[in-house]
Amino acid sequence: MFRAPMLTVNEVAERMKVTPRTVGDWIRHGKLRAIKVGRDWRIAVRDLEVFADAHANIPAPASDDGR
């Protein structure tokens, strides 16, 4: 079973302050990992975090738990 919360394209667009079309482009071009559910896409919160970290201009600080 899925343990990670899943987001819709619209929810990702809202969080990232872009259009749903931009999110769809990221998915189509393989930049953002997503799962096809019927005719819709779902994005795991952790995949959105990985995407955001990969596109940051400064590396994320090391966390206290060693990750």
pTM given for the model: 0.81
Spatial distance between the Cα atoms of 7 and 49, rounded to a whole number of angstroms = 12
**Predicted local distance difference test score (pLDDT) of residue 33:** 97
**Predicted local distance difference test score (pLDDT) of residue 67:** 54
- Residue by residue, pLDDT tens for the chain (67 residues) are 567 799 999 999 999 999 999 999 999 999 999 999 999 999 999 999 999 999 988 876 777 665 5
| Amino acid of residue 13 | A
Which residues have CB under 8 Å from 19's CB, separation 6+? Answer: 13
């096809």: which residue's tokens? 36
